[in-house]
Amino acid sequence: MRELVIDAAAGSAVGNRYRANFDVVHLARDPLCAVVADGMGDSEGSARAGRTAVDTFVEWTAAVRRDGPAHERADLSTVEVLRGAVAAAQQRVGAIGRELGGLAGCTLTALTESPEGFWITQIGDSRVYRLREGLLELLTVDHTMAWLGVTHGWYPFHSHEAAAARYHLTRYIGHTSQPEADIVPVTVRPGDRYLLCSDGIADQVSYQELQHTLSHSAAPAAMVDRLLAAADAAGGNDNASAIVVSAGRG
């Protein structure tokens, strides 16, 4: 039996750039299933990609979370199910792109609980942060040319080249080569706080503001509201989505 009490909240805002919200969030608390997807662009393909990817991921992972009907995936390992979920999402979103004759793609970032523990699934440039004992760490890697370029010294972090490469995703749901996601086990401890967010938060809200917000004793819903307000105050230049997960003692 889990010795943790999980409290969590999710929120999303359109911002000022797009006519609609092309982010998709899903949150179930017991067992935890938190998912953020960010559609690429503002087309029908973007909207359908995000919705399809999240729905597919939730459907596939129900078996390992033990909150859905038993079926043939229930006896697979968590890693196998998570990889299968991403592969299924790749196929379904790829079919949408072929149907529309254009781009259908999105990121997908998830924190899910199974009997084997907690797991991060990451593809694209949405993110997972963890606040533990006052230290805020980024637990995911951005699958972008900007991340590769800055990491390997091709150009400075604040250069025009890095800014342009920020929008060049190397992995995403709907990519023609159907790349795999990063699957990372996470040991969740009492006192931990996790933030899943789209780049509308990560690109507009500073590290210091993220750390300050997650360090508060407020409920997750209040933290989400504060993060969305901070993104709006920074210009609201993108759809912004956030899920805050707080772990306490059972």
Residue 175, pLDDT score: 96
CA distance 27 to 71: 22
Return the SS3 of 226. Answer: helix
Question: Which pLDDT score, from 0 to 100, does residue 65 have?
Answer: 64
Domains (range + CATH), the chain: 4-142+177-249 (3.60.40.10)
Alpha helices in the chain (DSSP H): 44-65, 78-100, 145-151, 160-165, 199-202, 207-215, 220-233
Q: What is the pLDDT of residue 66?
A: 60
Q: What global pTM score does this model have?
A: 0.94
**pLDDT mean values, one per 10 residues, the chain (250 residues):** 86 94 95 96 95 96 64 72 96 97 96 92 98 97 93 89 89 96 96 97 97 94 98 96 93
85-89 own/partner pairs: CB under 8 Å, 24+ apart: 85/56, 85/57, 85/59, 85/60, 85/61, 85/121, 86/57, 86/121, 86/123, 86/173, 86/180, 86/181, 87/178, 87/180, 88/56, 88/60, 89/52, 89/53, 89/56, 89/57, 89/173
C-alpha–C-alpha distance, residues 244 and 193, integer Å: 7
Helix (H) or strand (E) holding 242, with range, is strand 240-249
Asked if 23 and 36 touch (Cβ cutoff 8 Å), the reply is yes
The answer for residues whose C-beta is within 8 angstroms of residue 149's C-beta and 6 or more apart is 155, 161, 162, 165
pLDDT at 74: 60
Interatomic CA distance for residues 31 and 221, integer angstroms: 18
| pLDDT tens profile 117-144 | 899 999 999 999 999 999 999 999 999 9
| pLDDT for position 158 | 84
